[in-house]
Structure 1
């Protein structure tokens, strides 16, 4: 008994592949953005504290 050959799998188009890559890296990108915002806020706070100390003394 002969079997029918399996049809070739459809190839994803470029947009689908890009969307899948973006979805896979979304958590990493979000973590990096949050880390950058945290460092920026901390640097700004320390700068303001030192500026305030200089103004007071």
Structure 2
């Protein structure tokens, strides 16, 4: 987000929020497994438009 004066500009990208507890659980799961030399992405199942989190 960016602001100018009393206006706020919000990028309309998709955003996938995830709870901190879920992130911690995934990190523990992946850290206990053998490395696979690949990238693991952690995100909520549904994507939301970033503007939904601003009012």
Q: Give me the TM-score of the superposition, normalised by structure 1.
A: 0.30
Greater relative contact order, per chain length (Cα 8 Å cut-off, separation 6+): 2
Greater strand content = 2
Whose Rg is larger?
1
Name the one with the larger helix percent: 1
Taking structure 2 as the reference length, the TM-score comes to 0.31
